[in-house]
Amino acid sequence: MSEFDITREESGSKGRYVLLHNGVEAELTYSILSPQTRIADHTGVPDALRGSGAGQALVVRLVEDARAEGWKIVPLCPFVNAQRSKHPEWADAFNV
């Protein structure tokens, strides 16, 4: 769905999605609360990527992975929560 290349990194109870575009990095960080729950902590999109859809692409990947792997998202990050509100079709991926 996205034209961006997004990778996922996890270490211990923390993880992040990294989007690299034209040498600029955006990220969405999360905490692993349990095997069934991830807390979306923060979305960071530098000015160079604002308006490009990078932030939404990160949230789409988060939702896709939650659905594919069977866990729910707690949208602590204001951006993730705002995207959740705009996309009622994603309700199944969130625990709110």
pLDDT score recorded for residue 3: 78
pLDDT score recorded for residue 1: 41
Domains of the chain: 5-93 (3.40.630.30)
pLDDT in tens, 33-60: 999 999 999 999 999 999 999 999 999 9
pLDDT score recorded for residue 2: 53
Report, as ranges of residue numbers, the positions in the chain whose pLDDT lies below 70: 1-2
| The two structure tokens encoding residue 73 | 């998202």
Largest CA distance in the chain: 35
